[in-house]
């Protein structure tokens, strides 16, 4: 960098600081001090290193910039203004009702890849974007992630560090704004950038320690990061929170508050001079790589045989992978159990092994979908709870991610409660914009797996460990929001609503009751969210007696979905669910002990009538 650039970079940084102060003053809230510390870092990045076309945010060649420290949104919006993407007027709508400039950035803004604000998520997601660049798009775009120092305490950062280094991602740079102060007070390591460098270095990263307010050092570090081969780079920048404004500079108690005297702060910063920045566009000459799509053989399971729905997931995912080159799979070192290994063996270049790091696993998928890939993520349903916050934020981002949780419920048998997904339906139903599916047979699973490819937002499919009878013909259609009435007669005195493994218990119960002269209907409610309200209303008004039966806790699952759908009609509803704490036992014993097997359903019907 020529020496003559320094004055401009300082002016640009001052402008970013001025605008951060102005927007948070206008809002009456926000995080100006956390913005001031990173202004020099971002000024140099925008002026000299970022390759981005703000007029074409969908350009595949664009670099990616993720503010992992999402609370520094005033700085991000000041950058957008300096780059000409938003007006000064819009910038001053910060945090106001209806503004797309929210307290923490979301993809309502076309230049924002993912929502941040829950700390420790931007870097893990950035790793996913970088993986897309290196392994899928085959494009040289660079991923820049601005992190705070406080968020380095999050384990998800180290899952990301391990993943990025192991995959040799030289196309990602973490820029750590080491401003020493967290929300409540000093961080564990203060300005000891060496402490962080040792950690990142041990994880295999290239580390650079700089003065985060020296444009020359920053410029050198960013150049070095872009040029580094075979491993990711972390720039540990020693900065001062509130830099440039004496009243708050490097002071405790100034986190997350607008400045008391913004006018004086702007004066101190040299005034509002309207400095802008010209961001260089990327080299768009090379289109992203495309994987072959082609004809495929869809998996077929013969009615009357038995097969595990997780097996059908594996087979369907592999078939889908052959049909569509944009399908990718992500797993957490249990692909032999979830059966995504079928896909992994067929399409190793589109399979992402995240090892036992479920947060990074979901973050990887979120990152891949940023670049329009179509990820399926699988692990045990129980261990998805590990990634709950990432799934929640995926919902806020509107991320299109398909999640498949295997080994659901007590029906896994001997392994015991630690391995049983018993809260997954509650967790996934409560995610904004989610779809929740729970098939009972292999052909239904295959159909739903295929359908999921085009479901927007977070979608979830729950699979079962053991074999279940195949009851549907191959090729049948199962629309989202639908259900299947499996037993029905005008004599029905109750209707059993089941999903997954309990469908087969319900059928057995209905058949046994029939033999006793009691007729009950059975509905396969494979779509838990949205739920088939029409069929439920029909059942509620005809039989008036509903029994829901699910391999899940009483709260937030199938039973609650049914109650919600029929609440205005007032049928009598009995919920059969897993209420106790299971131990080890065979699958059949588990279903019996939980009171969700054939006998329990029959007893519930008798109780109801």
Measured from the CB of residue 349, what is the shortest distance to its own copies in angstroms? 17
- Our finding on whether 581 is near its own copies (CB under 8 A) is yes
- Our finding on whether 524 is near its own copies (CB under 8 A) is no
State the angle between helix axes of 309-323 and 442-452 in degrees (0 to 180), rounded to the nearest 10.
Answer: 40
Which of 10-18, 59-67, 390-398, 510-518 is the region at the interface with its own copies (rule: CB under 8 A)? Answer: 390-398
Rounded Cα–Cα distance for residues 545 and 605 (Å): 9
Region of 409 on the Ramachandran plot (φ > 0 left; ψ -120 to 50 alpha; else beta): left
Do residues 459 and 403 make contact, with C-beta atoms less than 8 angstroms apart? yes
Output 339 or 488, the one with its CB closest to its own copies. Answer: 339
Measured from the CB of residue 455, what is the shortest distance to its own copies in angstroms? 17
Q: Given candidates 140, 554, 595, 599, which one binds its own copies under the rule CB under 8 A?
A: 554
Measured from the CB of residue 21, what is the shortest distance to its own copies in angstroms? 17
Do residues 399 and 363 make contact, with C-beta atoms less than 8 angstroms apart? no
Rounded Cα–Cα distance for residues 165 and 221 (Å): 18
114: nearest Cα among 369, 332, 458, 326? 369
Output 307 or 528, the one with its CB closest to its own copies. Answer: 528
Output 273 or 345, the one with its CB closest to its own copies. Answer: 345
Rounded Cα–Cα distance for residues 423 and 543 (Å): 30
Measured from the CB of residue 356, what is the shortest distance to its own copies in angstroms? 5
Burial class of residue 456 in the structure, from the number of CB atoms within 10 Å of its CB (0-12 exposed, 13-18 middle, 19+ buried): exposed
Output 120 or 325, the one with its CB closest to its own copies. Answer: 120
Measured from the CB of residue 160, what is the shortest distance to its own copies in angstroms? 8
Output 15 or 150, the one with its CB closest to its own copies. Answer: 150
Within residues 141-200, the interface with its own copies by CB under 8 A covers 150-151, 153-159, 162, 166, 182-184, 187-188, 198-199
Which of 95-103, 229-237, 264-272, 318-326 is the region at the interface with its own copies (rule: CB under 8 A)? Answer: 95-103
Measured from the CB of residue 543, what is the shortest distance to its own copies in angstroms? 14
Q: Is residue 358 annotated as part of the catalytic site, yes or no?
A: yes
Measured from the CB of residue 247, what is the shortest distance to its own copies in angstroms? 19
Which of 39-47, 116-124, 287-295, 464-472 is the region at the interface with its own copies (rule: CB under 8 A)? Answer: 116-124
- Our finding on whether 140 is near its own copies (CB under 8 A) is no
139: nearest Cα among 422, 373, 414? 373
Checking DSSP bridges between strand 458-462 and strand 435-437, what pairing results, if any? parallel
Measured from the CB of residue 570, what is the shortest distance to its own copies in angstroms? 2
State phi, psi for 473 to the nearest 5 degrees: -70, 150
Beta bridge mates, 576: 549
Alpha helices in 398-519 (DSSP H): 424-429, 442-452, 501-515
Within residues 21-60, the interface with its own copies by CB under 8 A covers 27, 29-30
- Our finding on whether 302 is near its own copies (CB under 8 A) is no
What residues have CB less than 8 Å from 423, skipping those under 6 apart? 385, 552, 553, 556
Within residues 392-431, the interface with its own copies by CB under 8 A covers 392-393, 395-396, 398, 413-419, 422-423, 426-427, 429-431
Q: Count of residues binding its own copies (CB under 8 A)?
A: 111
Do residues 290 and 349 make contact, with C-beta atoms less than 8 angstroms apart? no
Running DSSP on this structure, what letter comes out for residue 281?
P
Q: Given candidates 201, 281, 530, 595, which one binds its own copies under the rule CB under 8 A?
A: 201
119: nearest Cα among 59, 183, 167? 183
The active-site residue, picked from 342, 358, 360, 505, is 358
- Our finding on whether 117 is near its own copies (CB under 8 A) is yes
Checking DSSP bridges between strand 401-406 and strand 458-462, what pairing results, if any? parallel
**239-to-181, 516, 541 alpha-carbon distances in Å:** 10, 78, 67
- Our finding on whether 564 is near its own copies (CB under 8 A) is yes
Measured from the CB of residue 45, what is the shortest distance to its own copies in angstroms? 23
CA quadruple 405, 409, 413, 414: dihedral sign: positive
Q: Given candidates 32, 74, 120, 367, which one binds its own copies under the rule CB under 8 A?
A: 120
Q: Given candidates 33, 62, 193, 359, which one binds its own copies under the rule CB under 8 A?
A: 359
Running DSSP on this structure, what letter comes out for residue 49?
I
Within residues 53-72, the interface with its own copies by CB under 8 A covers 70
Within residues 438-497, the interface with its own copies by CB under 8 A covers none
Which of 33-41, 104-112, 284-292, 501-509 is the region at the interface with its own copies (rule: CB under 8 A)? Answer: 104-112
- Our finding on whether 595 is near its own copies (CB under 8 A) is no
Beta bridge mates, 527: 437
Q: Given candidates 138, 278, 572, 606, which one binds its own copies under the rule CB under 8 A?
A: 572
Rounded Cα–Cα distance for residues 425 and 405 (Å): 10
Q: Given candidates 36, 147, 319, 357, which one binds its own copies under the rule CB under 8 A?
A: 357
Within 10 angstroms of residue 381's Cβ, the number of other Cβ atoms is: 32
Output 8 or 166, the one with its CB closest to its own copies. Answer: 166
CA-derived radius of gyration, the chain: 27
- Per-residue binder mask for its own copies (CB under 8 A), 308-347, x = binder: -------------------------xxxxx---x------
Question: Does a cis peptide bond (omega within 30 degrees of 0) precede residue 404?
Answer: no
Output 50 or 344, the one with its CB closest to its own copies. Answer: 344
Measured from the CB of residue 252, what is the shortest distance to its own copies in angstroms? 10
Rounded Cα–Cα distance for residues 346 and 325 (Å): 12
Q: What is the enclosing helix (H) or strand (E) of 409?
A: none
List, by residue number, the catalytic residues: 358
């Amino acid at each position: 960098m020529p020496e003559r650039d320094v004055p401009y970079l300082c002016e640009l940084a001052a402008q970013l600081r001025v605008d951060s102060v102005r927007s948070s003053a206008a809002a009456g809230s926000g995080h100006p001090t956390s913005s001031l510390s990173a202004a020099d870092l971002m000024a140099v990045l925008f002026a000299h290193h970022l390759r981005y076309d703000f007029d074409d945010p969908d350009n595949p060649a664009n670099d990616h910039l993720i503010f992992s420290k999402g609370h520094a949104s005033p700085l991000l919006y000041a950058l957008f203004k300096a780059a000409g993407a938003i007006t000064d007027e819009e910038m001053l709508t910060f945090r106001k009702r209806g503004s797309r400039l929210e307290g923490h950035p979301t993809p309502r803004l076309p230049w924002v890849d993912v929502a941040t604000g829950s700390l420790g998520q931007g870097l893990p997601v950035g790793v996913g974007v970088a993986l897309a660049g290196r392994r899928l798009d085959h494009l040289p775009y660079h991923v820049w992630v601005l992190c705070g120092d406080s968020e380095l305490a999050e384990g998800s950062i180290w899952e990301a560090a391990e993943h990025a280094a192991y995959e040799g991602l030289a196309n990602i740079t973490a820029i750590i704004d080491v401003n020493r102060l967290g929300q409540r007070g000093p961080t564990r390591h203060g300005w000891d950038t060496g402490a962080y460098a040792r950690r990142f270095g041990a994880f295999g990263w290239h580390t650079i320690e700089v003065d985060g307010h020296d444009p020359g050092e920053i410029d050198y570090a960013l150049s070095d990061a872009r040029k580094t081969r075979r491993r990711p780079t972390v720039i540990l920048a020693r900065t001062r929170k509130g830099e440039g404004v004496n009243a708050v500079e490097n002071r405790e108690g100034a986190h997350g508050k607008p400045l008391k005297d913004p006018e004086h702060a702007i004066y101190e910063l040299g005034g509002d001079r309207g400095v802008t920045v010209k961001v260089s566009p990327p080299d768009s000459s090379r289109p992203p790589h495309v994987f072959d799509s082609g004809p495929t053989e869809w998996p077929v399971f013969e009615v009357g045989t038995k097969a595990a729905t997780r097996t059908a997931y594996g087979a369907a995912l592999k078939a889908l992978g052959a049909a569509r080159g944009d399908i990718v799979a992500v797993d957490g070192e249990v692909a032999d159990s979830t059966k995504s290994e079928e896909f992994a063996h067929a399409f190793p270049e589109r399979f992402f092994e995240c090892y036992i790091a479920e947060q990074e696993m979901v973050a990887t998928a979120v990152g891949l979908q940023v670049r329009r890939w179509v990820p399926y993520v699988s692990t045990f349903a129980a261990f998805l709870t590990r990634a709950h916050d990432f799934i929640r934020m995926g919902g806020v981002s509107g991320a299109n991610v398909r999640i498949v949780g295997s080994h659901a419920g007590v029906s896994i048998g001997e392994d015991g409660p630690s391995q049983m997904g018993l809260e997954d339906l509650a967790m996934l139903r409560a995610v904004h914009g989610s779809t929740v599916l729970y098939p009972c047979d292999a052909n239904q699973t295959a159909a739903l797996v295929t359908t999921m490819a085009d479901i927007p937002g977070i979608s979830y499919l729950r699979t079962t460990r053991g074999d279940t009878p195949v009851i549907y013909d191959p090729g049948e259609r199962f629309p989202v929001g639908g259900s299947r009435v499996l037993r029905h007669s005008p004599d029905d005195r109750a209707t059993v609503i089941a999903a997954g493994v309990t469908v087969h218990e319900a059928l057995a119960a209905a058949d046994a009751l029939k033999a006793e002269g009691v007729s009950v209907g059975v509905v396969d409610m494979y779509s838990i969210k949205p739920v088939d309200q029409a069929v439920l209303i029909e059942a509620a008004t005809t039989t008036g007696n509903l029994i829901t039966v699910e391999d899940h806790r009483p709260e937030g699952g199938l039973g609650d979905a049914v109650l919600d759908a029929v609440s205005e009609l007032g049928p009598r509803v009995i919920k059969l669910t897993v209420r106790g704490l299971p131990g080890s036992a065979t699958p059949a014993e588990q279903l019996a002990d939980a009171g969700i097997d054939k006998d329990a359903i029959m007893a519930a019907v008798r109780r109801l009538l």
